[in-house]
Structure formats: C-alpha cells, structure tokens
A and B are shown apart, each in its own frame.
Chain A
Amino acid sequence: MKSLPMRLAGLAATGFTWLLVLAVTFPLLWMLGTAFKRPTELFAKPPTFFPHAPTLQNFVDVLEQTKFTIYATNSLIVATVTTLFVLVVATLGAHAMVSFKLMGRHVVARALLLCYMLPTTAVLIPIYLMIAGLGLANSLSGLIVAYTSLTLPFALWLMRAFFAGIPPEIEAAALIDGASRLRAFVDVVLPQALPGIVTTGVFSFLICWNEYLYSLVMINDDRTRTLPTGIMGTLVNGYAIEWGMVMAAATMMSVPLLLVFLFLQRYVVQGFGAGAVKG
C-alpha cells in the first residue's frame, strides 16, 4: 500500500495528463461538433458544445456547392505520389548514408538538416521559378516535385536514424548466405526498417496533405487545387466564412487521416531490430 502523499501525487499527475489531453483534443471535438450544427446554432449564446439537432446538411452542402471531391482527389494524388517517391529515395538514400563509408557523408547529413531548417517561405519563390522553368507550373506534377523537395530532407533525416539502428552484420550475413546486394536489402534490411518506413510515410503524407503555401502560390486553376487551398478559397472569402461547411470539410479531411494513424500506430511505436543483436 502506497502512502497517502504518494497516491495524491499520482492522482495529481493523472489529472494533469487528462487536462493536457483535453486541451489538445478540444479544437478537434469543437470541429466535430460544429460540423453537425445548423446555422442558427452556430452563433447561439451561450454557445453549445454538442449540437442540439444534429444535421448532415453541412456535409451535403460541401459536397454539392464546392469541388470537394476534385480537391480531395488532387490532394490524394499529390500526397500519395510524393510519399511513394520520397519513401523510395529516402529508404535507399538513408541506407547508403548509413552503410557505405562514402566520402563526405557526414557533411551531406548536416546539409540535409540545414535544408530542413530553412523556412519554407525562403525557398518558395526560387522553387516556384525552377518548377515554372520546367514547364510544370499550375500542375499536380509541379506540386509533386515541390513537395518532394519539401519532404525529402526530413524523410532522409528521419530514416537515417532508423537505419543506423539496424546492425550491419545482418546484411553481411545475408550476403554470405548467398543473397545479392539488392536481395539482402529487401530480405533482411527492409523488414527491420519497416516501422521507420511507415513512420516516415505517415509524416510525409501528412505534410503534403496539409500543405497550404506552395499550393496557394503554384496553383491558380480551380481544377488543380488541393484541399487546403480549395476549401479556404471557396468557403473563406472577404464577405463571409461558412463555419459549418468549413468544419464539415475539415472533418472530412482529417477523419480518414486519424483512422490511418490509429491503424498504423502499432508500427510507429513497434520496437525495431529488437533481438537482432545481443546487447
């Protein structure tokens, strides 16, 4: 039996944790609540937390009055292609940076971190000009190139840490056991790196899914807009903000992501490489 002060301290810690959880989830819950409210209830005084008469009208309006499905398709294409592209390059790149004693690999690693630390706004215009020079301005492929440049340094940096945790001997063992270089990588290195790949993929997808600034600057055709700029452009303008529809759109944007996150959580937290080497 623990002493009373100990139990009180435990209770206080638990209470504080829940307070934090509440503070973090409140905007999310508010978004959900508002999405289901009728226009009259939006500005009710005192404000309500749970909708009194829940309605799906906001969702119907978003789907009927905006190009939500087009924006969503664009976002999905851009985020998925970028993520796949980034994962392939970052997986091979990070493995090379960790396993091969290349000259200047530490310099490259630091340069990557520096790239990642540069504010997006500082590189926005140069990148835009380069992409325009390639003739890719105002297109999804242009956005994919831009997002790759945005995500790759971060992805490489993250993956490098994961690959550094994989003992090099297991790849050597596979080579000696008769595997080719690529086969050894696929057979024994990739399975160890899987949690890292999933984590990097989730983060890269999130960055692309939520990205606003590049999309705003590079896209000016409504049919190629992504969700953040499309929804903001349609529902938030100088005259009015359609809060109900904004929240409904935001819900439709974030709920699939939350589900994916929940599903992949076990990979993200899974211990990697455990048992490969006796410590």
Chain B
Amino acid sequence: MTEIALKSVQKKFGADVYAVENLDLIIAKGEFLTLLGPSGCGKTTTLRMIAGLETLTSGEIHFNDKRIDQLAPGQRNVAMVFQNYALYPHLNVRGNLEYPLKKRGVPRDQRQTMVAATAKMLQIEELLDRRPRQLSGGQQQRVALGRAMIRDPAVFLFDEPLSNLDAQLRATMRAELVRLHLRLGKTMVYVTHDQLEAMTMSTRIAVMYKGRLQQIDTPAAIYSRPANRFVAGFVGTPTMNFVEGVFSDGASGLEFRSTLLPTIPVPGLSGAKAGMAADVGFRSEHVVLGQGAAQAEVSVIEALGHETLVLLTAGADEIAVRTRPDIALRVGEKVRFDAAIDQLHFFAKTDGNRIGG
C-alpha cells in the first residue's frame, strides 16, 4: 500500500498565476481522498501532478519514502480514470484492457487470463470485441475502470469520472466505486466538484479553492465544523445561511449583533472580541419556523416530497430552511424563525476563518 506525500508543491502557469500554491498534503495508505472544489481551484492540476502529466514548479511528491515527481507517468505505477474515459477509439475493449499490460511486457497467455478475470469482475465479458464508440456511457466507464485495475497499480487517480453519466447511473457507479475501494484496499485520489460524491465516497475530503488547501478532514467534520467561510458555503445543499454582524460587549459578556437575528450571547468564544465584524452561519436544517424573534417573508417554496425547502427574504438577506413536507405556508407570507443556538458558526469578516472551536 502506498502513502502519498505532497511537500510544498507549487504549480505556476505563466509568470504569476498560481494553479496550486504551497500545498502540503499526506494521503494515507489505502485512503479514499477526494479533492473537492469549484472549477479552477487547482484540484485537477494537483491530480495531474501526482500522475506525472504536469511538472511541478517547486516542491516534492513522495510515494511512501520514494520521491517520484521526477519520474515519467508510466514509471509511477499509478492508474487514472478520466472524465471522458479516454478509451483508445481504434482498439476494441480487449485491446484497451491489454494496452497497459503490453507496455509492461506481460506475456500473451497471461494477458488473456488477466483480461478475462477483469472483464468478469466488471461484467463486460460480452463487450470485449466491441469498439468504444459502440458502447454506452456506463459501459465505457466500466472499461476505463477495467483498464485502470488490470495492472494492479499502487495508486488510483480519478478525474471527475462520473460527471458524464446520467443521475441514476452516477448513483450506481458511486456505490460500485466504494465497493471497489473496499475490495482492492488501494490508495485512491478522486477529483470532483460534486460535494455529494465527495461526501458519500471519501475517507477524507480536501477542499481546495484558488490553488490553496482550505481544509482536510472527514466528510462529517467538514460538514459540521467548516474551517472557513468558503468551505462552509461550498459544502452542503442548500448553501449554509450567512448573516452579517458584529461582536460587542453586552451585560453578560460578549454578544453577536445583527440586524436580522436577535442578539446572540457568545461569552467565551475564543478569538472573538468586541468591534470585530463577522458572519454567522447556520445550515438550513437548523432553522425552526414559527418561533423566535427574527422575521422574514416567504419567497420560494420547493416541495421535494420527503421534505420542503423554503426560501425566506429579509432585506438583502436570504435564509434557506429545510422543513417537514406538511407545513402550510404561502409565498408572500411573513413568518418568524429561529436558528438553533448550538449550531452556529462564526467566520471573521477579514480572512473568512472560523472563530472559536
């Protein structure tokens, strides 16, 4: 099993555009790590540097104790699955599966056994003589997976492999990838902008933004204790609600005041002090309707069946609320709401970092 260590890795395009800036990251043996972020955040560049498809401007990458960033892609023993699958169009499925084995000098009879075993495992045996263009998207995806698995690589790299599939197939493939990870136990690095994929499949998630690592932690911790405002806003659907305000000294210690919400007492919130501007964040499932001092107008109601999403507006602020499906509300109605006091997150206005524990 392979541990991947990125040490002060940087990638510059042109003179001063940082695609990846000073990235330190340790991916544990057998881990399923997801690099999550919006497009242009540097996640794909990071993956391509691990694969050897991009050179590093500075820094080092190690597999276990061996430095590999100077090696050619083929010498790193990694396999990669691409967003568009990148199957070789002029070869049939068998030829595609065999290609990495041929390049490694595996003898013919052994190749045939390995192709048969891989095809059986992925249930693509009847497709072996077809060309990629004769396959459906899901079948192409399986062949791409097969080509990655067949030579038993040390590390699997995935570059948004599910984004070209329809929603139903994507859910199936997510489960299949998780099973694959459990069965093979290999180190896997997965790039996506889809937080659902990141949350459901990963051992840990590394959130990236503008070339910098924002937070690396388990999916649950990323969701419940986001390290900064960007992570808080990026992970979770609907997006976390934010209300601007300022800390000030009250009768019983430090409090957070905003125009929309009632004063929130925050005595002992470390890192906060009077006069400091901040955002308070809270998730849509932690808002209770019909109680509390804050008031807003119902602007959108989305009934999803098992729950209902309600969007409230109050001046410039918008508050998303998840609620039971049987709630009786009308658009335009004024409604009172309250945010659960133990589920609040504070982020400094200056750098966006989380305040307190």
Chain A residues within 8 Å of B, Cβ to Cβ: 167, 169-170, 172-180, 183, 187-188, 191-192, 273-278
Contacts and interface: CB of A to CB of B under 8 A. Distances in A.
Given A167-B86, A169-B82, A180-B74, 6 more contacts: A170-B88, A173-B80, A176-B74, A179-B74, A277-B84, A277-B86
25 contacts: A170-B86, A170-B87, A172-B73, A173-B86, A175-B72, A175-B73, A176-B51, A176-B53, A176-B73, A176-B74, A177-B74, A177-B99, A177-B103, A180-B72, A187-B88, A187-B99, A274-B89, A274-B133, A275-B89, A276-B84, A277-B85, A278-B84, A278-B85, A278-B140, A278-B164
B233 interface: no
Given A169-B86, A170-B86, A170-B88, A178 B104 contact: yes
B137 interface: yes
B42 interface: no
A278 B140 CA distance: 9
A274 B132 CA distance: 9
A78 to B, nearest CB: 33
A275 B133 contact: yes
Interface string B88-118: 1110000000011001100000000000000
Interface size grouping (class) on chain B: 20 to 34
Q: Which 9 A-B pairs have the closest CB atoms?
A: A275-B133, A178-B103, A169-B86, A178-B74, A177-B100, A277-B84, A276-B89, A173-B86, A191-B90
Contacts of B82: 169, 172-173
A187 B91 CA distance: 10
A12 B351 CA distance: 72
A172 B133 contact: no
Given A175-B53, A192-B89, A167 B84 contact: yes
- Residue with the highest number of chain B CB atoms closer than 10 Å, among A173, A175, A180, A274: A173
B204 interface: no
Interface of B: 51-53, 72-74, 78-80, 82-90, 99-100, 103-104, 131-135, 137, 140, 147, 164
B144 to A, nearest CB: 9
Contacts of A174: 88, 99
A81 to B, nearest CB: 29
Contacts of B78: 176
Contacts of B80: 172-173, 176
Contacts of A188: 88, 90
B147 A177 contact: yes
Nearest to B99: A177
Contacts of A192: 89-90
Given A178-B74, A276-B132, A170 B52 contact: no
A173 B82 CA distance: 8
Nearest to A168: B86
Nearest to A173: B86
B84 A175 contact: no
Given A172-B53, A176-B78, A177-B103, A276 B72 contact: no
A171 to B, nearest CB: 9
Contacts of A180: 72, 74
Nearest to A272: B89
Given A177-B100, A178-B74, A172 B86 contact: yes
